[in-house]
Amino acid sequence: MDDGNPLAGEGGESEAAEPAAPRHVLLVEDEELVAMTMVDELRSRGWEVVGPVATLDEAQALVAEGVHIDAAILDINLRGRWVHSLAEELTRRGVPFVVCTGYEIIDPDGRFARAPLVAKPIAPHQLGATLDELVNRADEIQPPLEPS
C-alpha cells in the first residue's frame, strides 16, 4: 500500500466515493478544433463522449442505431446542412440537447425553444455547465406521485 497515494490501497472509502456511471453525450460538431476543446471539457466533467461526429448523416446513423446517449450537443449547421431533423428525432426520443451556434437566428418557428443555446465562440466551462444543468433539470422531471 502506498501511503502517499490516497487512491491506492484496499478499497474502503475510495470505493464508496466512486462516481456514478458516466453519462453519454452525443457531440455533433464539424469544426475539429472546436470539437477537441469540447471533448476535453466534457470528459473533465465526467461525460463519456459519443463522437464527435462532423456530419448530419453520421449523427443520424448513430441515433438510428440506438447508441446509448443521455444528451446531445448540436452544432446547428454542419457543412451547410441544418440539423433540425436530428433535433426533432432527439426530441421524439426524449433526449435533451444543447444547441451551439454562431448564427443569430436558428429556429424562427420556435420548434426548439426549450433547448439551451450556447453561442460561439464557446467558453469551455460554459458548455459543460449548460449541459449539466440541462440533464439535471431533465432528471428532476418525475411523474406525479399517487395520493396516499
CATH number at residue 49: 3.40.50.2300
Asked whether residue 47 is domain-assigned, the answer is yes
- Structural domain harbouring 47: 20-126
| Res. 1 pLDDT band, cuts 50 70 90 | very low
What is the pLDDT at residue 117? Answer: 84
| pLDDT of 82 over the 60 cut | yes
Helix or strand or coil: residue 15? helix
Question: Phi/psi at 44 (nearest 5 deg)?
Answer: -65, -20
H or E element, residue 100: strand 97-101
Asked whether residue 83 is domain-assigned, the answer is yes
Q: Longest C-alpha distance within the chain, in Å?
A: 61
What is the pLDDT at residue 125? Answer: 80
| Res. 107 pLDDT band, cuts 50 70 90 | low
**Rounded average pLDDT over 85-102:** 91
d(CA 115, CA 135): 11
What is the pLDDT at residue 64? Answer: 94
Q: Higher pLDDT residue, 8 or 79?
A: 79
Asked whether residue 4 is domain-assigned, the answer is no
Asked whether residue 140 is domain-assigned, the answer is no
Asked whether residue 105 is domain-assigned, the answer is yes
Asked whether residue 65 is domain-assigned, the answer is yes
| pLDDT of 75 over the 90 cut | yes
From 93-97, 99-103, 110-114, 118-122, the region with the lowest mean pLDDT: 110-114
Asked whether residue 59 is domain-assigned, the answer is yes
| pLDDT of 118 over the 60 cut | yes
| Res. 38 pLDDT band, cuts 50 70 90 | very high
| Res. 15 pLDDT band, cuts 50 70 90 | very low
Residues 11, 3 contacting (CB under 8 angstroms): no
Residues recorded for the chain: 148
Asked whether residue 119 is domain-assigned, the answer is yes
What is the pLDDT at residue 20? Answer: 67
Domain count, the chain: 1
**Rounded average pLDDT over 120-124:** 80
